[in-house]
Amino acid sequence: MDGGGNEAHREIRDEIQKLCLRFPGEYWRKLDRGRLYPTEFVAALSEAGWLSALIPEEFGGSGLPLSAAAVILEEIQRNGCNGAAAHAQMYIMGTLLRHGSDEQKRAYLPRIASGELRLQAFGVTEPESGTDTTSIKTFARRDGDHFIVTGQKVWTSRAEHSDLMLLLTRTTPRDQAAKRTDGLSVFLVDMTVSLGHGMSIKPIRTMMNHSTTEVFFDELKVPVQNLIGEEGKGFRYILSGMNAERILIGAECIGDAKWFIDRAIAYAKERIVFGRPIGQNQGVQFPIAKAYADLRAAELMVASAAQLFDSAKDCGAEANMAKLLAADAAWEAANVCVQTHGGFGFAEDFDIERKFRETRLYQVAPISTNLILAYLAEHVLGLPRSY
């Protein structure tokens, strides 16, 4: 498929493609069957410096703009690999970079950039407060030089493969905070010393291979110096990273959509039924053409959001729309790809059913489609808040 108008950062695309060739379908299929973590793939990305793309050069990263990071993740997906194993490092790090103290940045960022420390776990969602983040119950109580954390997170992905966790807790109960968004704090938790000492992890088996878990906190001691920014302001810090997260996930969805459409086109050309390629039938080619048009539109929105982000302009609406449209485009392309392949769309060896399961997530996480629509209705269109 012609990459269309947005094939910026050609050299990054070529390098990522080369790296991904070392991790073909069989590699991912084997991991998928055993629900295993792609350790070698993540190590290869770290060694090549791709996961530290957004870390400033002074801290050992390459200081690239978000639009370049988006291309890295897009290209990983486009080449049939799965960036979900490591993507969080790119956007979680922003909270530390923007709101951490100089001491924290110097202590952690160079080691994250070198791959020595993995910052892959992001503990926000809880069993009783999904989308309603300000209702979280995990509590950090100050006790001298420490905070004592008690509570539970759910869907904390990659927790078993991370050294650090960015953790959101309440430090003031919601009913005692001036506003519901006040009284939340963010910690950088050293998981290597916490496991077995107040922190435990239980894997959740899901329909795709995503290394997600439940994390339990039972009087976990976190040193005061691991508090990021000011106590009680954590919700704002997390929100400030969400635009980057949405743009990067949107870019991954664009990569998925391209992969599915490429596969659908190739098969539609080669599969002969009734003596002609199935792609000669409009009933087969039109859905692929429609998925392509929708992909291209979503791609423009992702690029526009990334450009606004890189120029430090307000991009809340565009980042949300980028994630919404790209997740929808990837899902539509996934469906079309399965349909084009007929029975073979369901065969493990074609990788389509695996990518189909993987891409479905993005209409739900990290933010569900409904909540994006609610954001647009309220904040862009000025309609009454619905929740």
Ligand X SMILES: Cc1cc2nc3c(=O)[nH]c(=O)nc-3n(C[C@H](O)[C@H](O)[C@H](O)COP(=O)(O)OP(=O)(O)OC[C@H]3O[C@@H](n4cnc5c(N)ncnc54)[C@H](O)[C@@H]3O)c2cc1C
Please choose, out of 44-52, 172-180, 321-329, 368-376, the segment that lies near ligand X by the rule CB under 6 A: 368-376
Closer residue to ligand X in complex, CB, 181/370: 370
Structure tokens at 134: 């300000």
Distance CA 29, CA 325 (A): 28
73 contacts ligand X (rule: CB under 6 A): no
In the complex with ligand X, the residue whose CB is nearer, 193 or 364, is: 364
Interface region with ligand X, contact rule CB under 6 A, candidates 3-11, 44-52, 319-327, 365-373:
365-373
Instruction: Select 163 or 299, whichever has its Cβ closest to ligand X.
Output: 163
Q: Which residues of 40-66 are buried (b: 16+ CB within 10 A; e: fewer)?
A: ebbebbbeebbbbbbbeeebbbeebbb
- The answer to whether the beta carbons of residues 67 and 54 sit under 8 Å apart is no
Nearest residue to ligand X by CB is: 130
DSSP 233: B
* 217 near ligand X (CB under 6 A): no
* Closest distance of CB 370 from ligand X, Å: 3
Residue of 1, 44, 364, 376 that binds ligand X (CB under 6 A): 364
Q: Which of 131, 192, 225, 281 binds ligand X (CB under 6 A)?
A: 131
With CB under 6 A, what is the number of residues at the site for ligand X?
A: 23
Q: Up-side HSE of residue 133: CA atoms within 13 Å toward CB?
A: 21
Q: Are 185 and 142 in contact (CB under 8 A)?
A: no
Can you tell me the distance from the alpha carbon of 171 to that of 214, in angstroms, rounded to the nearest whole number?
Answer: 21
114/118 Cα distance (integer angstroms): 9
HSE, side-chain direction, 13 A CA sphere, residue 102: 1
When asked if residue 90 is in the footprint of ligand X (CB under 6 A), the reply is no
Residue among 200, 357, 370, 377 that touches ligand X (CB under 6 A):
370
Q: Verify binding: residue 67, ligand X, rule CB under 6 A.
A: no
Structure tokens at 31: 């991991």
Confirm or reject binding of residue 323 to ligand X (CB under 6 A): no
Task: Compute the distance between CA of residue 93 and CA of residue 100 in angstroms, rounded to an integer.
Answer: 10
* Region 145-204 residues binding ligand X, contact defined as CB under 6 A: 155-157
Q: Is the CA virtual torsion 77, 82, 84, 88 positive or negative?
A: negative
For the chain, how big is the Rg over CA atoms in Å? 21
Instruction: Compare residues 19 and 86 and give the one whose CB is closer to ligand X.
Output: 86
The residue from 8, 177, 195, 374 that contacts ligand X (CB under 6 A) is 374
Task: Identify which range of 69-77, 228-236, 346-354, 367-375 contacts ligand X by CB under 6 A.
Answer: 367-375
Return residues touching ligand X (CB under 6 A): 122-125, 130-131, 155-157, 206, 210, 212, 361, 364-368, 370-371, 374, 386-387
